[in-house]
């Protein structure tokens, strides 16, 4: 009886396992970001700019990243000094400034995409195709339920 109790106490419940995997992923991405000099606060901005057509205004970045306007302003200033982004005044509307990734910014995007692909490959190697698809369905359900 005591061994059954000890066994159940040592087994991790689903929440603990989910948290453990999430921590491992955060650590891996943080290590990659640190190795290339990307601060954690930059990742949302870099991601948004890498998925746009022709740069973005500061207001658009605020809206899509859900970061505060002051946070975006300070981050963009730092990112510009670090040559990750550049600001370009719209030639048709001098009041509008668009933010673009520099070559260094695009290198960061490529490095992070490689890391994401490596992580996904690790998932795929551990699961069957059906299990991988089920994982996506389950994670979306959890996300949607928590955000409701």
| CA distance linking residue 38 with residue 68, whole number of Å | 19
| CA distance linking residue 11 with residue 134, whole number of Å | 23
Alpha helical stretches, state H, the chain: 2-10, 14-36, 43-50, 58-65, 69-81, 103-126, 129-147
- The 8-class DSSP code of residue 41 comes to G
Which phi and psi (to 5°) does residue 83 adopt? Answer: 60, 35
Tens of pLDDT, residues 13-72: 888 998 999 999 888 888 888 888 788 779 899 999 999 767 899 999 999 998 999 999
Q: Is the pLDDT of residue 136 over 60?
A: yes
């Amino acid at each position: 009886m005591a061994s059954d109790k000890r066994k159940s106490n040592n087994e991790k419940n689903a929440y603990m396992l989910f948290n453990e995997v999430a921590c491992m992923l955060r650590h891996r991405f943080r290590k990659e970001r640190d190795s290339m000099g990307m601060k954690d606060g930059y990742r949302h901005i870099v991601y948004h700019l890498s998925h746009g057509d022709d740069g973005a205004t500061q207001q658009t970045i605020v809206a899509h990243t859900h970061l505060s306007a002051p946070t975006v302003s300070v981050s963009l200033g730092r990112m510009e000094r670090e040559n990750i982004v550049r600001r370009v005044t719209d030639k048709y509307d001098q009041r509008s400034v668009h933010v673009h990734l520099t070559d260094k910014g695009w290198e960061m995007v490529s490095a992070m995409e490689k890391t994401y692909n490596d992580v996904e490959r690790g998932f795929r190697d551990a699961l069957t195709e059906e299990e991988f698809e089920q994982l996506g369905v389950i994670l979306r359900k959890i996300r949607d339920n928590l955000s409701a």
